[in-house]
A = this chain, B = another copy of it.
């Protein structure tokens, strides 16, 4: 009779060990298809184990398809032969899986970052504790509605009323795990058969997301007020994705005349919509916030999108859509089966963070901080050798300004020299996709990740890079 040793059993249970031994013998064909295994009782006696052990091992082998039973006759080995493992040789081992390493820079004028110590973690943890202690825990565990939890949508709607003058129902809000995810939701909602128009130059990732979602993307050229309406019309696109409050990278605030023009464009086609991307409206550093397109839209043509990843911190993946009312119905009819994508705990916590005034405090604190960084950076630039070779613009909105350089050096050369200075910078010319004329010599200075203590030295390095001075020397020094 079949015999196995139980000596090298180590951490396994008896039945697991027996299961493994029999499985090995089946795989190596020591036990052949159709062969009958010993009865449970006889086998147990032979091995000196309990019948339960044999029974459990047999049951597992049956569950996995190695054995089959015939009622009142016993256990037999399955025929694996017919369905042999692939005959091809195993794929040659791939090299270890690797994520591309991220280059970090001494100073970064490109990446979206956030000042350390700026986020009130202790408040957040306290609110989370209150939420788990006070709310109905059942809801916390089970509410996964597609649009987001009620409390958060109410809080966002109140916030938009106070801060953006937008009058909307909480039902119009759809919460999702980041704007990139929500772009995908919009494509599913509006359909893949329309062309989507984006700004050129613009936020490059947006075009990539449309491309990865297999929608036709039109990169429409801009004038000093935004996308050129005639070019939009020519493209045949039906969905227009724009950033009227603050265009990236040029900083253009779209004037009201152009806004009306686009609303008029949208009203001319049943399937036309405007996606208003209000990604950094919280960081307008002077004057009132620019009113949204959504708030002057009487035709239900504007879909508003915004994120808390910029205003809280990038690590929070919470964004939202405001849908026109008729699209709310379409959303629940066609996509309402989806589960939400943001943890209920975080939604509840954010709802309190908003409604108890912590968000406003946090934003004010961030705004003051960024204003301070910007002013210091501008002051340092104005006392630098670049002072009479630059023109600063668009410094009131968002977390970057433009710096037009009076230089003949190609942008590529300056980029290369900045790289040597361990600085990450970018030019407006890098944000074009289709346009042939690319405005040269204009730096996009994103200062959100800049540490105050590094400003003076960062400006020195930038000067060297722009002027092409000492770049060989600097590189040798490091």
Contacts and interface: CB of A to CB of B under 8 A. Distances in A.
Contacts of A83: 257-258, 260-261, 264
Interface in A132-162: 132-133, 137-138, 140-145, 147
A198 B129 CA distance: 42
A267 B86 CA distance: 7
A90 B299 contact: yes
Interface residues of A, number: 118
B298 A90 contact: yes
Interface string A301-326: 00000000100011111100001111
Contacts of A96: 169, 171, 325
A117 to B, nearest CB: 7
Contact of A257 (B65, B91, B184, B316): B65
A342 interface: yes
A268 to B, nearest CB: 8
Given A83-B257, A188-B212, A339 B313 contact: no
A119 interface: yes
Contact of A119 (B80, B137, B171, B325): B137
Interface stretch (A56-64, A356-364, A437-445, A460-468): A56-64
B324 A94 contact: yes
A139 to B, nearest CB: 8
B212 A86 contact: no
A436 interface: no
Contact of A212 (B63, B82, B98, B335): B335
A256 B344 contact: no
Given A113-B142, A339-B180, A339-B317, A260 B97 contact: no
Given A205-B337, A264-B83, A256 B317 contact: no
5 contacts: A85-B263, A97-B329, A177-B342, A317-B343, A343-B346
